[in-house]
Structure 1
């Protein structure tokens, strides 16, 4: 296969990112990667504010892309295509990145490749190592928490999902309740390092039920009641964070254990921002070892939202001929399940206004 070089653009949440990636003989090489974080803009609110995120993307997207191209040493004319996250995500931000990509594709005559942000995460381990299909994927992030069987590019089967909140949302909520700062997941993990994870007997929702679905709303509520009822010292906060983190790790690892029992492969993949949590990684590593499998995860910087994974998904789709001729007509999607058949036939509804993101 001849080399394919793609510019990827990612703007689905609170980071404006662009990367240039070359795919050759099935191996990915990142030629450049630029990220502009919005942490300072959202920190006063304890979470991402969609309107602020969209405006920040609009202000900086063209410059981030310009830097990525310059650092790659390539001109726009030397690319084989432009890929951009086109859903799911915060619709204002998704539209900024998608329209930026479309404009560049139209101006240069290159193919535009609309990429499902979740597919980017699903393929992200392939950025750094040979991760052949099939594999069992735990996609665990701020907005999504799913077990997906990945049989190939575009071949995804949802086996379980959260019925309410994602694990990343649960971490963010606790951080906000404890005033630990933003982003919440890393803040909780830092606080937990000096805590006793056995101190607070927090619930492990759905552990007594069959299947691979998960729930974290009850865990959030239990922690909130402790915070309301007690005047927490610094050590209490550390203990609560450690206990909370352990509860989430136990829920994810128990479901992963069940997923691997039903899987005929030997690769367990974890991807998404929460995959950077070391306690959760250790718990999943133990699960993989019990099943004679390997735990595969992206490098830490590629667990969170990034443009390299979008470029890789775009390159793999272009190489496989999976880009529609009318891709410039693609419209941004705030909800875009990887397994659309399961989402249509067996939708999962949660506490959000538009249901769960599965």
Structure 2
């Protein structure tokens, strides 16, 4: 409810400011790209309704964007006058965020197949929930990342669940982390404060190790050397370092979006709409948002 109200309050001034900064008039717009889902339904309703109103008032078509597609296609963004190499098809993309942990086989801009995903918590959820029990605040991912840079990643050992195929599971890791805190706090009430950095470093190391092990296997099995990362957790410096390390060790060609394009952003929606516009893949004014869907 709070997110929906914030969207309602900000959507008009934000779009107005975007048009101003782009140095265009609203009449110069060729189409309206909007996120149809998945996500928070109330917020999506605000965005969808505004997109419909703007589309009708300008007499331009609408382009519906899948939020998960958009994260993957953030790897095709570039700044003006900037030379950036984009992934070649097919490539693998590790999509990691607060709500998703997926390995995606990308055959084209819109031909994507999830070949592995979490069966319970996502990687971002594991960071957030473990940070919460340590009293670090929310969202926990950035805080864990910052403290991990000061700690020893081998200080503590946490469970690494064994799941078949390319699927992930982080609930066992979360439980293992919780039990470690419970047992140690019984012996020393100041355990968390004394070991905060080492706990974060060990947690981050374990999550990244789980993510990269399945990604390595998928790349090997599919004979793919081009590998990208996307989603909010791709801002994690430890995960970025792991990608560069795998590029050296396994001959991967890796693609990592700029920090500004890792979390939810308008540019990734725009690039998704751009490729749909080239195909003439417009959507009906009757389109309704959805909170859940696969890629």
Common fold, TM-score beyond 0.5? yes
SS at match of 2:292: coil
Partner of residue 161, structure 2: 205
Question: Paired residue for 1:117, among 43, 58, 67?
Answer: 67
Partner of residue 217, structure 1: 171
Tell which deviates more after alignment, 176-185 or 288-297.
288-297
Question: Paired residue for 1:94, among 15, 22, 44?
Answer: 44
8 Å CA contact 1:256, 1:287 repeated in 2: no
Note the 1:1-358 alignment, pairs <5 A: 51-128=1-78, 129=84, 130-206=86-162, 209-229=163-183, 230=185, 231=189, 232-324=191-283, 326=284, 328-338=285-295
The runs of at least 4 aligned residues of structure 1 exceeding 4 Å deviation read none
SS at match of 1:204: coil
CA RMSD of aligned residues (A): 1.3
Q: CA deviation at 1:227?
A: 2.5
Cα displacement string for residues 105-137 of structure 1 (whole angstroms, at most 9, x for unaligned residues): 111111111100001001001003322322101
Distance 1:329 1:75 in 2: 26
Higher relative contact order, chain-length normalized (CA < 8 Å, sep 6+):
2
Which ranges of structure 2 fall in alignment gaps of 5 or more residues? 79-83
Which protein is richer in helix relative to its size? 2
How many residues align structurally?
284
Distance 2:216 2:224 in 1: 13
TM-score, length of structure 2 as denominator length: 0.92
Distance 1:333 1:92 in 2: 10
TM-score, length of structure 1 as denominator length: 0.77
Cα displacement string for residues 160-215 of structure 1 (whole angstroms, at most 9, x for unaligned residues): 00000100111111121112122210011111122121111101112xx4410000
Distance 2:93 2:236 in 1: 16
Distance 1:197 1:216 in 2: 18
Which protein is richer in strand relative to its size? 1
SS at match of 1:186: helix
8 Å CA contact 2:181, 2:192 repeated in 1: no
The verdict on how the C-alpha distance between 1:233 and 1:335 changes in structure 2, with shifts beyond 3 A counting, is closer
Distance 2:244 2:113 in 1: 22
